[in-house]
Amino acid sequence: MKIQLTFFSLLAPCVVYAQTVYLCGDSTMANRGANDGATDGWGPYLGAMITLPVVNKAIGGRSARSFTREGRFTEVANLVKSGDYVVIEFGHNDGGGLGSGDNGRTPCGGSGEEKCQVTYNGQPETVLTYWAYLRNAANLLKSKGANVIISSPTPNNVWEGGSWQYSPSRFTTMSQDAARATGSTFVDHGTYYANLMKLVGKDTTNSWFPRDHTHTSPAGAKGAAESFVKALTCDTTGGLKSKVNSSGYGLRGTCANGSQPSQGGSSGTTTSSTPAPTGGAGGSLPKYSQCAGAQWTGSGTCVAGTTCNKINDWYSQCL
């Protein structure tokens, strides 16, 4: 059999794919937040502070259980390539109870291997704990070569009662336990965002929650994204921290120990001179990637069949 090699076939094995950050979460992370015209999730603002494209797969109204049942973790697992990053953050829709009032989002009680048998939408379902859903998702994604970050949920308005009050929920504890069980990175997003709201004060914080105590305005969403990056640069080493650009340093607030994170040094963090990756072959960005926005320095060319759509001043996405 005659094998014919072309110039392009010889080049094919040399194609290098840029790392990508995938986001899995609920409306507090999702593009356009609660889809009410006044709120936004924090995911669209992350791309301005890191050197990698961001694919935001968060969707409103989901919990760790419903995200699993709907096959959304599997969808992301089928997209990731070895070396990509996946951030998992749930907790706002994971409360409630099972039984006749089961909304399809509530996990089984407990913090380990407990299981509950229910019927949801006429179909039998084995419901796991919040911890188990995160554990399973992390293991699935890590089996594909992804670097997994499990993040504690953002808090509701911590000034809602008139004075600043914050106490980490049980979902924060289980998020940290799931990260430990899977060798994933844990980021205490909730504590850092609560501390930022304390820093900016009651009036500013209240303006960040225009509809309810959960969903934030674009300004509040940007603050939540800053808090995630702050926690990343303060409390982790290497990994996604090494992809934080200069805009991700000098943010409001301090680390848990009162210090400021330093750029460079042993953590291997990047500097503003590091160019953002341009995406896949030919410099085109894959569907759902960031393609424009304030301080974005990467490619603005979307893969064929998609165009660059503005979500807000900080984030445009290939759709």
The model carries a pTM of 0.81
Looking from the CA of 8 toward its CB, the CA atoms found within 13 Å total 2
Order of all β-strands in the sheet with 21-25:
54-56, 21-25, 85-89, 147-151, 185-187
Tokens for 101?
Answer: 């009032």
Buried b (16+ CB within 10 A) or exposed e, 31-50: bbbbeeeebbbbbbbbbbbb
Model confidence over 10-31: pLDDT tens digits? 444 544 567 999 999 999 999 9
**Alpha carbons 233 and 261: distance in angstroms, whole number:** 6
Distance from C-alpha of 223 to C-alpha of 293, rounded to nearest angstrom: 16
Please answer whether residues 53 and 18 qualify as being in contact, where contact means their C-beta atoms are separated by less than 8 angstroms.
Answer: yes
pLDDT along the chain (319 residues), means of 10: 48 62 98 96 97 97 98 98 98 90 93 95 95 98 98 98 97 97 97 98 98 98 98 95 95 93 50 32 60 68 85 68
In tens, the pLDDT along 108-165 reads 999 999 999 999 999 999 999 999 999 999 999 999 999 999 999 999 999 999 999 9
Rounded to 10 degrees, the C-alpha dihedral 54/57/63/67 comes to: -130
Q: How far apart are CA 34 and CA 28, in angstroms?
A: 8
Active-site entry in 26, 27, 92, 175: 27
Residue 279 pLDDT: 39
Q: Is 189 a catalytic residue?
A: no
Q: What are phi and psi of 156, to 5 degrees?
A: -70, 180
Choose, from 215, 227, 289, 316, the residue flagged as catalytic. 215
Return the pLDDT at 243: 97
Structure tokens at 314: 């900080």
235 is catalytic: no
Catalytic residue among 207, 212, 213, 262: 212
The residue count of the chain comes to 319
Is there a catalytic annotation at residue 27?
yes
What the block records as the tokens of 232 is: 């990343």
Tokens of 1: 């059999």
How close are the terminal C-alpha atoms of the chain, in Å?
43
